Structure 1
Amino acid sequence: MPESVQLPFEQPDPMRPAPLLRRLQHRGPIHAIRTAVGDPAWLVTGYDEVRALLDDDRLGRAHRDPERASRTGESALFGGPMGEFATERADHGRTRSLLQPHFSPKRMRALRGRVEQLTAGLLDELEAAGPPADLHAALALPLPIAVICELLGVPYEDRARFRQWTQAAADVTDRARSEQGLAELFCYGQRLVARKRDTGGDPDADVISRLAATDGVSDDEAASLGMLLLFAGHETTVTAIGEGVVWLLAAPGQWQALVEDPSRIGPAVEEILRAPGLGGGGIPRYARTDLDIAGVHVSEGELVLLDLGAANHDDAVFADPDRFDLDRPAAAHLSFGHGARYCIGAPLARIELEVVFAQLTTRFPTLRLGCAVEELSFKVHTLTGGPAELPVIW
């Protein structure tokens, strides 16, 4: 592998791509890099290449020799290989078959009304407290937690504990902390599954109860899948809400355009999903065999990072890609992936975002940032990132 640059790329402006990433994109769709821990990898930035590779069986999350595999960071969740190399495809297919029914269109439609109620309640509290406010603490954080708790059957009163564990598990700089957080989360899941079995409640009441009642699913598997959904089902949506507010309020005219025409909520959500992710990095995959990517030879076992943010800012697909624009012509962003590994929680995330921005723009039409964008603090040591605080006034 040739000499390379190293992640993370410096990003002086959170609303603009890292300058080095933009220079790499102009050179081509694939680049030799070093990860944040110094390991060699390939960074794929072209839209067509990322889209195709997301659904390419020659790449996977497992590695034939995981101890020698390149790592992206110290996270126990995504820092290195996951799963068994020999059975990865079958295991992935089983997991999706177990989880997909719980995210069916019918179940998601039934959940929308509850999302609307929860959002309205949080906005009632926000309005009663008055400005200024931290919209991260008042809405972006508690709403996805409340929704995923109801969907999974996790007690909302446990949120402070499991939030602490998910934040630890997502740490990309401290492996011991990440491993401890993941272990605590799994143990919590085991206790939750055992409690549901012992109480003999409705086996169709929530996702974890249904998993625990499924033939062939052990308590440990139900706990593991439930806690994976708990992590993925709120962390990314917390970030999307926060970043969406920032983009809408920072881009001239965009918030007001949404206030004046609520029918644009749908396109706004898609632009909110497309616009962030500008710092470089990507979804980790390992080559299961030798392959060529855009004329570059990649050897079996090498780490390939599929940069969704860069792909979503490929100017061959998205005109003037760094501009946040509610009038952008429809094009399929890759924020939820593509193909066999497309995010099963995408419909739920879209529902939450649509409800949040429909209600926010209706009830707080004069909302604006309480500080300059450059004064905002973004989380840089966790997998999902996003604003740590979101001061607003109205």
Structure 2
Amino acid sequence: MAVTIQRTHTPVGDEAWQVTGHAAVRGLLDDDRLGRSHRTPETAARTGESALFGGPLGDFDTEFADHARMRALLQPHFSPRRMRALAPRVEELTTRLLDDLAEQGPPADLHAALAVPLPVLVICELLGVPYDDRDQFRAWTDDIGNTRDGARSQRALGELFAYGQELVARKRDEPGDDVLSRLCATGGMTDPEIAGLGMALLFAGHETTVVRIGMGALLLLSNPEQWQALVHDPGLVPNTVEEILRTATKSGGTGLPRYARTELEYDGAAIHTGDLVLLNLSSANHDPEVFPEPERVDVTRPAGPHLTFGHGARYCLGAPLARIELGAVFTQLPRRFPGLRLAVDPAEVRLREDTLTGGLVELPVRW
């Protein structure tokens, strides 16, 4: 039987446990013996220099209660009904961006033309963030996710939070039909809490989907037979979306960080209180016991239980929105540009190595 947990070192040299394999990762994702907080955060092992994601988050004593409270406040804003109501607008925005791409003509950068602007447009409308501010908050979110420069990440986090507080103050004076305005009206949260939560949603709600759209397109165009299968059979879109979600998890990353809240033993490993445990989603999503020939991109593969959105109590609230956006892109893109192809060799496509989420620098295409 393969070893599912072993000692490793993070990119900054700290010791950690690396967990691999679908069953192990799935089980520990929903194990309340692990959490995101740490009793003494200043001494905790770190995965990188990112101020928001490189180390512990939250209050050790109240973490689970805080998480349940925030999730309960957010759940109504990401309900199936609200997401279904948003779907036509996502389709409309996708069409507009593809119209612009067609007008521009080849060659083009699909990353800049579609993968970046669509999730940004959607999350701005959902939260009530001015789209005109996109360059500024994109720069902040890029810096916050920087895994190598702690000072840069900390500075950007402070600036994004200050921006969020200004937005909340504006929503108090001039509410709109958006999540930030509704959170202000709901009560039960302070303005700093709304600002912090809103800016976390801004980051999570666009950055990961930017990556999935870009990497998904790269995977399909690097496997032309898969692209053509999608071109000829639009019924494959749902499977394609799940295959992209499964395969486009960042490979080579450290994994989702968790900290042991107590002494525990797992698969023969004695994990001590406070130890850093890294849950490797990429490994889980490429487990051959769950996904036959896992390295092969296959748009006909039946949707399997990938763990891209997590599992259990921390399952991503934004999962339905991400699926709507990916579905819109990979329905319209093959229909509008059936002859789409990479303009460079796949090996020449540059990937981002300095950010938490990874993704592409650009995606040159022709048609």
Q: TM-score range by the shorter chain?
A: over 0.9
Q: Distance in 2 between matches of 1:333 and 1:360?
A: 24
CA contact (8 A) 1:41 1:304 kept: yes
29, 34, 42: which one pairs with 2:4? 29
- The answer as to 2:365 corresponding to 1:389 is no
Equivalent of residue 283 in structure 2, options 299, 305, 310: 310
Contact 2:109-2:362 within 8 A present in 1 as well: yes
Structure 2 counterpart of 1:191, one-letter code: E
- Kindly indicate whether residue 308 of structure 2 is the aligned counterpart of residue 339 of structure 1: no
Query: What displacement does 1:260 show?
Result: 0.2
Q: CA deviation at 1:196?
A: 1.3
Counterpart amino acid of residue 361 in structure 1: P
- Corresponding position of 2:101: 126
- In the alignment, which residue of structure 2 is the partner of 1:100? 75
Residue 241 of structure 1 is matched in structure 2 by: 213
Residues 183-228 of structure 1: CA distance to partner in whole angstroms, max 9, x if unpaired?
Answer: 11100000001011123x34xx100001111222111111111100
Of stretches 52-61 and 250-259 in structure 1, the one that deviates more from structure 2 is: 250-259
Offset at residue 252 of structure 1 (A) = 3.9
Q: Which amino acid aligns with 1:222?
A: I
Mapped partners of 1:318, 1:124: distance in 2: 37
Q: Identity of counterpart residues, as a percentage?
A: 63
1:150: which partner in 2?
A: 125
Residue identity in the other structure for 2:75: Q
The answer to whether 1:269 aligns with 2:244 is no
| 2:31 paired residue number | 56
2:55 alignment counterpart: 80
- 2:151 aligned with 1:179: no
The one-letter code sitting in structure 1 at the alignment partner of 2:206 is: H
Distance 2:182 2:302 in 1: 41
Taking structure 1 as the reference length, the TM-score comes to: 0.92
After TM superposition, give the deviation of residue 27 of structure 1 in Å: 4.7
Q: 159, 176, 191: which one pairs with 2:166?
A: 191
Structure 1: 5+ residue stretches without partners: 1-25
8 Å contact from structure 2 (residues 146, 355) kept in 1: yes
Structure-2 separation of matches of 1:170 and 1:330: 30
Q: Distance in 2 between matches of 1:191 and 1:280?
A: 34
Which position in structure 2 is the counterpart of 1:113? 88
Query: Once the 2 structures are TM-superposed, how far is the Cα of residue 77 of structure 1 from its aligned partner?
Result: 1.2
Give the C-alpha shift of residue 281 in structure 1. 1.4
Task: Give the secondary structure class of the aligned counterpart of 1:107.
Answer: helix
Paired residue total: 366
Matched, 1:371 2:349: no
Counterpart-to-counterpart distance in 2, 1:31 and 1:262: 43
Gaps of at least 5 residues in structure 2 are none
2:193 aligns to what? 221
Which residue identity does 1:230 align to in structure 2?
A: L
**1:354 matched residue in structure 2:** 327
Counterpart residue identity of residue 199, structure 2: M
Q: State the alpha-carbon separation in 1 of the partners of residues 339 and 353 from structure 2.
A: 30
Could you tell me how far apart the structure 2 residues matched to 1:371 and 1:73 are?
32
Paired residue secondary structure (1:101): helix
Deviation for aligned residue 1:326: 1.3
Deviations 1:102-126 (A, max 9, x none): 0000000000010011110100000
SS of equivalent residue, structure 1 residue 213: helix
Q: Give the whole-Å Cα distance in 2 for the aligned partners of 1:214 and 1:53.
A: 34
SS in 1 for 2:96: helix
Shift, 1:280, TM fit: 3.8
Distance 1:306 1:32 in 2: 12
Q: Which amino acid aligns with 1:270?
A: E
State the match for 1:6 in structure 2: none
Kept in 1: contact 2:342–2:366 (CA 8 A): yes
Name the structure 2 match of 1:11.
none
Decide whether the 8 Å contact of 2:243 with 2:303 is kept in 1.
Answer: no
The structural deviation recorded for 1:327 is 2.0
C-alpha deviation, 1:130, in angstroms: 0.2
How much is the aligned-residue C-alpha RMSD, in angstroms?
0.9
The one-letter amino acid paired with 1:112 is A
Q: Which residue of 1 aligns with 2:303?
A: 330
Partner of 2:306, secondary structure, is coil
Report if aligned partners of 1:233, 1:345 keep a CA contact under 8 Å in 2.
Answer: yes
Shift of 1:248: 0.6
- The answer for the alignment partner of 1:68 in structure 2 is 43
Name whichever of 107-116 and 290-299 sits farther off: 290-299
Q: Are the counterparts in 1 of residues 125 and 178 from structure 2 also a CA contact under 8 Å? A: yes
With the length of structure 2 as denominator, give the TM-score of the two structures. Answer: 0.98
Moved more, 139-148 or 271-280: 271-280
Distance 1:208 1:192 in 2: 8
CA contact (8 A) 1:280 1:310 kept: no
Residue 8 of structure 1 corresponds to which residue in structure 2? none
